[in-house]
């Protein structure tokens, strides 16, 4: 009945994780800088002006990847929460917490760039349609998670905040489809002005910068999350050492 662990699992041990993330981080930061900057340069200067939306469309090179990352980060947070609660692995909770600020940042960027695009295109900063409302709710879910984990933590012991946060992330991810559905249903019920951008196929000269920006921002998100996780680990070790010395 011996179940051999997949080699991947050894990265659940903090020293192994520190070693792996230490070698990955410079690579990720380099990829983020290189692809992000080249994607932005191509997107802002090389890609042609859109026939319908003019120059304002160029914000999509940030907006679209930010929206993807904001959504995926919440799912990843819930996945680490599940792993942490079921396996009791310390590192899972650390990664879960490290994801939250990055997810919140990208959710905010989604809203902000959306508003900057909406003003010249639709003439308003904000409309209450299904997409915008659900992006706002996603941002609020992140804020609730960060607020809860920060308020529940005890200085010498982060475990209570870990567990409360993990449970909230799981409840949130179960609720998310219901939330999205209810907001969709609500917006069809009220028949708001349909202000969706015309569904046009994207020219390759626009697609290339978008893909570069997406890859660059993903690398940035991964690098930020790993760096934050390393800091959280170091902080926890320092606190433990201090309490042991005081005891």
Judged by CB under 8 A, does residue 67 bind other proteins? Answer: no
A 10 A CB-CB count for 103 gives 27
Label residues 63-95 b or e (16+ Cβ within 10 Å = b): bbbbbbbbbebbebbbbbbbbbbeeebbbbbbb
Angle made by CA atoms 224, 228, 229, in degrees to the nearest 5: 115
Q: How far is the CB of 100 from other proteins (least distance, A)?
A: 13
Q: How far is the CB of 170 from other proteins (least distance, A)?
A: 8
Looking at the Cβ atoms of 60 and 136, the one nearer to other proteins is: 136
Choices 179-187, 195-203, 210-218, 234-242 (CB under 8 A): range interacting with other proteins: 179-187
Judged by CB under 8 A, does residue 40 bind other proteins? Answer: no
Looking at the Cβ atoms of 167 and 207, the one nearer to other proteins is: 167
Q: Determine whether 29 is exposed, middle or buried from the number of CB atoms within 10 Å of its CB (0-12, 13-18, 19+).
A: middle
Which of 9, 46, 125, 185 lies at the binding interface for other proteins (CB under 8 A)? 185
> DSSP label at 54?
B
What CA–CA distance (Å, rounded) separates 145 from 74?
Answer: 10
Q: How far is the CB of 158 from other proteins (least distance, A)?
A: 12
Judged by CB under 8 A, does residue 202 bind other proteins? Answer: no
Judged by CB under 8 A, does residue 26 bind other proteins? Answer: no
Phi-psi region of 191 (alpha: psi -120 to 50; beta: other; left: phi over 0): left
Closest CA to 130 of 172, 175, 181: 181
What CA–CA distance (Å, rounded) separates 145 from 167?
Answer: 10
Looking at the Cβ atoms of 165 and 216, the one nearer to other proteins is: 165
User: Binding marks (x or -) toward other proteins, 137..166, rule CB under 8 A?
Assistant: x--xx-xx--xx--xx------xx--xx-x
Which of 27, 124, 167, 234 lies at the binding interface for other proteins (CB under 8 A)? 167
Contact residues: other proteins, CB under 8 A: 85, 137, 140-141, 143-144, 147-148, 151-152, 159-160, 163-164, 166-168, 171-172, 174-175, 178-179, 181-183, 185-186, 189
């Amino acid at each position: 009945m011996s179940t051999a662990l997949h080699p991947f699992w050894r990265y659940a041990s903090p020293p192994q994780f520190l070693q792996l993330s230490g070698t990955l981080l410079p690579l990720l930061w380099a990829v983020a800088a290189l692809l992000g900057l080249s994607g932005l340069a191509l997107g802002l200067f090389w890609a042609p002006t859109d026939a319908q939306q003019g120059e304002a469309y160029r914000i999509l090179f940030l907006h679209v990847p930010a929206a993807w990352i904001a959504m995926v980060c919440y799912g990843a947070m819930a996945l680490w929460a599940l792993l942490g609660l079921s396996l009791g692995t310390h590192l899972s909770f650390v990664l879960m917490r490290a994801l939250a600020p990055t997810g919140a940042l990208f959710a905010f960027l989604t809203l902000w760039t959306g508003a900057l695009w909406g003003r010249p295109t639709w003439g308003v900063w904000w409309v209450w349609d299904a997409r915008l409302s659900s992006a706002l709710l996603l941002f609020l879910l992140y804020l609730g998670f960060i607020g809860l984990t920060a308020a529940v933590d005890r200085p010498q012991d982060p475990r209570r905040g870990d567990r409360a946060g993990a449970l909230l992330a799981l409840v949130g991810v179960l609720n998310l489809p219901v939330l999205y559905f209810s907001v969709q249903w609500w917006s069809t019920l009220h028949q708001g002005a349909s202000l969706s951008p015309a569904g046009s196929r994207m020219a390759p000269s626009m697609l290339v910068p978008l893909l570069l920006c997406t890859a660059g921002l993903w690398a940035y998100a991964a690098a930020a999350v790993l760096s934050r996780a390393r800091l959280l680990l170091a902080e926890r070790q320092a606190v433990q050492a201090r309490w042991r010395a005081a005891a």
